[in-house]
Structure 1
């Protein structure tokens, strides 16, 4: 069945609008070399995936809390390498003030456009929707760095609202973050004319649907306009991950 035409389209941020240029491991490794630590990007990618998947939701309400959350995650990445790989120098790195300097540089870097790239078709989709008087918002589990990052990527003018978990203390798929996003536009949930599109099946599609929005999953390889067209035409959604 075709989805009702949207009054507002909310979008996830990382993985939906933009993605890391190269890989997280490549960036972590590149910055680490300036501090005398040589680790392969592949090893850091594996460590990051494990640490990120097991980390608690970033349901914090302060900039300091966000900083500490990411500090703990990056530290856990290197601790994993110390425990499971042959990198004895990491022990000294983690116990020295140099690690804090490394993390501070890394944290600041991800608030800039340098490590990111827009996904294909993003700008054309946003412009098309705005030309049809559809309001646009972001609903993301990103932290406060999203605001300067949107500026750096020239995305800020496209959006009427930005809702992030870092200022609310709740993260997707918690229905409260979707309710807050809706309230930014004067709506309450449930309301199927409020759409949410994101690349995470559980947090975005299932979370938004359970909260009372029309949840749409941006599957790997899809563009935003393809997801929109399929929903309007009532085509079967992409098969969810196992």
Structure 2
């Protein structure tokens, strides 16, 4: 019950409490539906499906990776500057990977190389501490407005999917951040055996949500893995940080443009 009503009993006398509850509930639902453009009112959204990249798009780091590597590494003798660590981190990611997938299962083989290249430290205990740090939701955050956008798009009938090059920690991270239940499909490269930009990973996601490529849009932060990969199967892609910079913009592009 709204606090104003609890403070003012005279208002309660004007109509039954059950009626007030129904009124406020209905009013709230109308506002949500109006914001989302759904609920059976107005034209359908511009797209019936939204695919989202995880790391770098839906999941943002709570603090810079170089800062984390340096802080956790000090007890293990890591004295490299954050600039040095970041350069090594980028080198590890840009180097050719001899296997089919970077992220196989829990991704530890690949991440051991990344941590060692970035810090020059091969201590197993240090690696495990870094690995476990990123296995918890506290290490990540959602962009502003992400949760509300997902909720409103879902209410509007848009099918939602995560499509990510990630290891088996991803499902727990999405649960920790209280968004896993929002998605109709969560497609992780280490589980399905394909990594973006492979067309198969996008097709798996579209099949799982039951939406055709021409009626969906993908949002990710990588020109090759996300944009080129999605476009190759006729799936439109908006680059995070360029085409869209806020989740409210994603919602506007999907809902507002559907009303034109």
TM-score (norm 1): 0.78
Moved more, 15-24 or 138-147: 15-24
Contact 1:113 1:149 in 2 (8 A): yes
- Of 185, 192, 195, 1:171 maps to 195
Residue 220 of structure 2, aligned match among 192, 198, 213: 198
Shift of 1:162: 0.5
Instruction: Work out the CA distance in 1 between the residues paired with 2:87 and 2:145.
Output: 29
In the alignment, what sits opposite 2:252? 229
Aligned to 1:86: none
Q: Does 1:120 align with 2:144?
A: yes
Q: Secondary structure at the residue paired with 2:238?
A: strand
Q: Distance in 2 between matches of 1:217 and 1:62?
A: 26
Map of 2:127 onto structure 1: 103
Larger Rg belongs to: 2
Post-superposition shift, 1:194?
2.1
Name the Cα RMSD after superposition.
Answer: 2.3
Match of 1:18 among 56, 59, 62: 59
Instruction: Indicate if the aligned counterparts of 1:27 and 1:115 stay in contact, CA closer than 8 A.
Output: no
8 Å CA contact 1:58–1:69 kept in 2: the answer is no
User: Do residues 76 (structure 1) and 100 (structure 2) align?
Assistant: no
Q: Which segments of structure 1 move beyond 3 Å, counting only runs of 4 or more? A: 230-234
Q: 1:153 and 1:162 mapped to 2: Cα distance?
A: 14
SS of the residue corresponding to residue 210 of structure 2 reads coil
Displacement after TM superposition at 1:37 (Å): 2.5
Q: Residue 51 of structure 1 is aligned with which of 83, 92, 95?
A: 92
Q: Does the Cα contact within 8 Å between 2:166 and 2:189 map onto a contact in 1?
A: yes
Q: How many residue pairs end up in the alignment?
A: 211
1:92-149 CA deviation, whole Å, 9 max, x = no partner?
x53xxxx111111111110102221211221121111011011111001111110111
